[in-house]
Amino acid sequence: MEDQRTSFEFDKESLALVEKIIARYPPGKQKSALLPLLHMAQAEAGGWLSRETMDYVASLLKLQPVEVYEVATFYTMFNLQPVGNCVIEVCRTGPCWLNGAEEIIAHLEHRLQIKAGETTPDGKFTLKTVECLAACGNAPVMQAGIKYYENLDVEKIDAFLDDCSSKDATTRQNPYK
């Protein structure tokens, strides 16, 4: 994996964003900025939240580290283990299933030679299943980074994977930038 460091700090530009986000909540209620900051930190710290990264976010918001762990473990968008450079999240809920989500997942597992929930040995891809992405009219659907891929079929997936396999593609992106 390209980025295995666990200690992490935001750069100046991100710290300015942090200030801007905290100002959206009343004084003393900076804890509300936790989800936004965890999204930013995950994107910038290699796609996952190490304990050190969470401790750093806690210090920025003047919280006890446990307050951050509690939250990070509750929400499914946060990865608590290292992930690949490209994280693929395929919807597996009812409407997508009615439209072939199982075949889509099977094709991805076959192409990547991993099961859902795993990362390829070269650290390039992680495959996750997720619940309804509010795109059921264009099922089957997957998400990679902040982008949606809808009306999926085998050709679209192959094109996407080829795209990611070239160069140093990553789906990580600070959504506030």
Partner 1 sequence: MGIRILTAQMHIEGIQQLDVYRRHGGYEAFRKVLNAMSPPAVLEEVKLSTLRGRGGAGFPTGMKWSFLAKNTGKPAYLICNADESEPGTFKDRYLMEKNPHLLLEGMMISAFALEAATAYIYIRGELFYVHQILERAIGEAYAAGLLGKNILGSGFSLDIHCHPGGGAYICGEETALIESLEGKRGNPRIKPPFPAVSGLWDCPTVVNNVETLAAVPWIIQNGGKAYAAIGVWKSTGTKLMSACGHIRKPGVYEVEMGLPVEEFIYSDEYCGGIRNGNQLKAVVAGGSSVPILPAALILKTAKGEARLITYESLSEGGFESGTMLGSGGFIVMDHTTCIVKNLWNFTRFYHHESCGQCSPCREGTGWMEKVLHRIETGHGKMEDIDLLSDVAKNIEGNTICPLGDAAAWPVRSTIRHFRQEFEDHVNQKRCPFSK
Binding mask 52-91 for ligand FES (x = CB under 6 A): ---------------------------------------x
Residue with tokens 């396999």: 165
Per CB under 6 A, 132 contacts ligand FES: yes
Q: Which of partner 1, ligand FES, none does 98 bind, CB closer than 5 to 8 A by kind? A: partner 1
- Which positions from 117 through 176 interact with partner 1, judged by CB under 8 A? 130-139, 143, 146-148, 175
Nearest-approach distance from CB 38 to partner 1, in angstroms: 7
Q: Which uninterrupted H or E stretch holds 70?
A: helix 65-74
For residue 136, which phi and psi values (nearest 5 degrees)? -60, -25
Question: 41 or 105, CB closer to ligand FES?
Answer: 105
Helix (H, G, I), strand (E, B) or coil at 168: coil
Question: 13 or 158, CB closer to partner 1?
Answer: 13
Please say whether the beta carbons of 72 and 80 come within 8 A: yes
Residue with tokens 């996750």: 128
Q: Which residues pair with 88 in a beta bridge?
A: 127, 144
CA-CA distance, 39 to 72, in Å (whole number)?
A: 10
Per CB under 6 A, 157 contacts ligand FES: no
Nearest-approach distance from CB 56 to ligand FES, in angstroms: 34
Per CB under 6 A, 41 contacts ligand FES: no
For residue 142, which phi and psi values (nearest 5 degrees)? -140, 165
Residues lying near ligand FES in the complex (CB under 6 A) are found at 91, 93-96, 132-133, 135-136, 139, 141
